Structure 1
Amino acid sequence: MAPTASSSSAPNAGDSKSRLLRFTGHRNFRQRLILSLVSQRPVRIDSIRPDSSSPGIRDFEANFLRLLEKVTNGSHVEISYTGTSILLKPGVIAGGKVVHDCSLTRGIGYWLEWMVVLAPFAKKELHLTLRGVTNMDGDLGVDTIRTVTLPHLTLFLPLDSLSTLASSLELRIAKRGSAPLGGGEVHFRCPVVKHLSTVNFVAPGRVKKIRGIATSTRVSPQMANRLIDAARAVLGRYIPDLYLFADVYRGEDSGKSPGFAITLLATSTTGAIHSAEAASKATDPGLPEDLAQSAARMLLEEIASSGCVDRSHQPLVLLLMALSPQDVAKCTMASPTANAVQMMRDLKEALGVSFKITPASDATTALVDGAEDDDAEEEDEQKKMLQKLANPELFAYSCVGVNFGGFKKVG
């Protein structure tokens, strides 16, 4: 479990030292660096894997720091000799055209997930090109970021400019690349805004459709079809509006390693999105049928947890709520994950924002239309799932934002 953050300030220290954020451990490494940039407070992270056989920051964490230096102007990073401590003095989020080669030990989503948060506050419109592994188990895939993360971001974009922003907020997948050699390439473009808008998303609604995309690189195109057939066999009994399609890349656009992945998302009547994904491992790809069934069951778990935001995006939404105008932002979500709890602690530390969490007993349940709960032949697991769907544990999260204005020049 990640240790609780604690601030450190010396009585006679200068202003910069008194504003220093201090954290310990390697968990939530990226979110703490992002909080340093949006709060404009230097951050020091100590005790990064001190007892490990190879102590200190990993290659992908150092790579993330290099990306931050590229998208900002004036940021200064200090890494201790052993690598177990780092100090970031934040600069201005500059934006502009940035090309970055990601470490192949993590998926591109490791970098892109938090760049999506920084991009709207940049001085100039961000055009980001990332190269590496597009889908990897443990990190958000580029398809999930395109179909789930970006719609979550649009909830916070001003309504009066949404029509003009829609065309300039995009994620384009130029090449796909699987582990271990990667070879994928994505292009992310995001406009800048003066301020976010206040979110009020309290009705999860009912799931009305499920969509999915199966991808394959350097393997037979039949693999994507097998993924689709296996996922449809699980999800088809719950909802009629189900559409899964294959996205097969060939030649140079298919990266340097064989692999396959599937991304699934369920959309509700109110626009709430729940997602799940699974990607083959480089060492043991396994059968596509097993991978698809695992992803389908994860999606049903997400639907069962209900809420307006899926669990993997809770920290991102909580951060955007804290950066919103000085008005009460409200959102209904499932019980907080460990990452969401740590995000709320870190937000209290960095921005002074506190969240109020109350049971949302009156929230609309996210029942799946067309579920066959009267089938006497159903297995026990499916019955438990349906009971959980009918009675999800929901909470209303609310806070007053700090009205972060970003670095765009006014005028």
Structure 2
Amino acid sequence: VTRRGCPPLGGGAVTLTLPIVKTLPCLDWTDEGLVKRVRGVTFTCKVSPQNGSRMVDAARGVLNAFIPDVYIFTDHHVGAEAGKSPGYGLSLVAETTTGCVLGADAASTACSSAMEEAKGLDWATTAEERVPEDIGRRVAESLVAEIQRGGVVDSSHQSLALTLLAIGPEQVSRIRLGQLTPRAIETLRILKAFFGVVFHVAPEPESG
């Protein structure tokens, strides 16, 4: 992360480097394992760094009821590295014993100074002003919901996983997903229309 950016003006920058992959492997990914630790990072841009600590305390208040190994870093930015708008947010990931990573995140869509800059934008009329504790609890509860949903990827990455399976080798691949999101269902329809790939969807015998 080169620069952080918050709504409404953004200004963040991320450098992503990926290796070249000539072919995708056949995949049999059905063991989600058990959650062994939770890691995360809070970021604060052009606001008090105490907001980050408040998000950490709220998130740990939810997560420590389930697992003791929770560590959340704080990342404070000022000046040019803080983007163009003030704000704060939290990102959490749960790592399992089989290497699966489930994530959840949220940012302050409307801290008071950002709302002042956002006057006139469409989203500003419905955005709620959230204090750091709200963000911390919301993200932690979202992560718990993702774990409860099950699957080897979280709900936001179901579509990506299905797309990679569709463009992979002709051998049969298997993947275990939680309850399909509307976006994932639409992805299945698009893959059938464009690639002629049809997935066989079956309930998991242990959880249904």
Settle same-fold status: TM greater than 0.5: yes
Q: Which runs of 5+ in 1 are unaligned?
A: 1-172, 363-391, 394-411
Is 1:304 aligned with 2:132? no
Is 1:239 aligned with 2:67? yes
SS of alignment partner, residue 174 of structure 1: coil
Q: Deviations over 1:346-370 (max 9, x none)?
A: 11110011100112214xxxxxxxx
RMSD (Å) for aligned C-alpha atoms = 1.2
1:324 to 143, 168, 171: 168
1:253 to 81, 102, 123: 81
Inter-partner Cα distance in structure 1 for 2:84 and 2:46: 8
Which residue does the alignment assign to 1:334?
178
Conservation of the 8 A alpha-carbon contact between 1:259 and 1:285? no
Which residue does the alignment assign to 1:98?
none
Which residue does the alignment assign to 2:26?
198
Which residue does the alignment assign to 1:229?
57
Q: Which has the larger radius of gyration?
A: 1
Which residue does the alignment assign to 1:271?
99
Quote how far apart the aligned CAs of 1:286 are. 2.1
Inter-partner Cα distance in structure 2 for 1:307 and 1:289: 28
Q: Deviations over 1:113-169 (max 9, x none)?
A: xxxxxxxxxxxxxxxxxxxxxxxxxxxxxxxxxxxxxxxxxxxxxxxxxxxxxxxxx
Which residue does the alignment assign to 1:219?
47
Aligned length: 192
Q: Which runs of 5+ in 2 are unaligned?
A: 116-127
Is 1:361 aligned with 2:189? no
Which residue does the alignment assign to 2:122?
none
Q: Which has the higher strand share?
A: 1
Describe how 1:125-140 pairs up with structure 2 within 5 A: none
Conservation of the 8 A alpha-carbon contact between 1:228 and 1:244? yes
SS of alignment partner, residue 263 of structure 1: strand
Q: Which has the higher contact order (CA 8 A, sep 6+)?
A: 2
Inter-partner Cα distance in structure 1 for 2:21 and 2:189: 27
Amino acid of the residue matched to residue 90 of structure 2? Answer: I
Inter-partner Cα distance in structure 1 for 2:106 and 2:2: 20
Amino acid of the residue matched to residue 138 of structure 2? Answer: S
User: What TM-score results when the alignment is normalised by the length of structure 2?
Assistant: 0.88
Amino acid of the residue matched to residue 333 of structure 1? Answer: L
Which residue does the alignment assign to 1:346?
190
Quote how far apart the aligned CAs of 1:285 are. 3.7
Which residue does the alignment assign to 1:209?
37
Q: What fraction of aligned residue pairs are identical, expressed as a percent? A: 41
Conservation of the 8 A alpha-carbon contact between 1:262 and 1:295? yes
SS of alignment partner, residue 357 of structure 1: coil
Quote how far apart the aligned CAs of 1:192 are. 2.1
Is 1:293 aligned with 2:121? no
SS of alignment partner, residue 190 of structure 1: coil
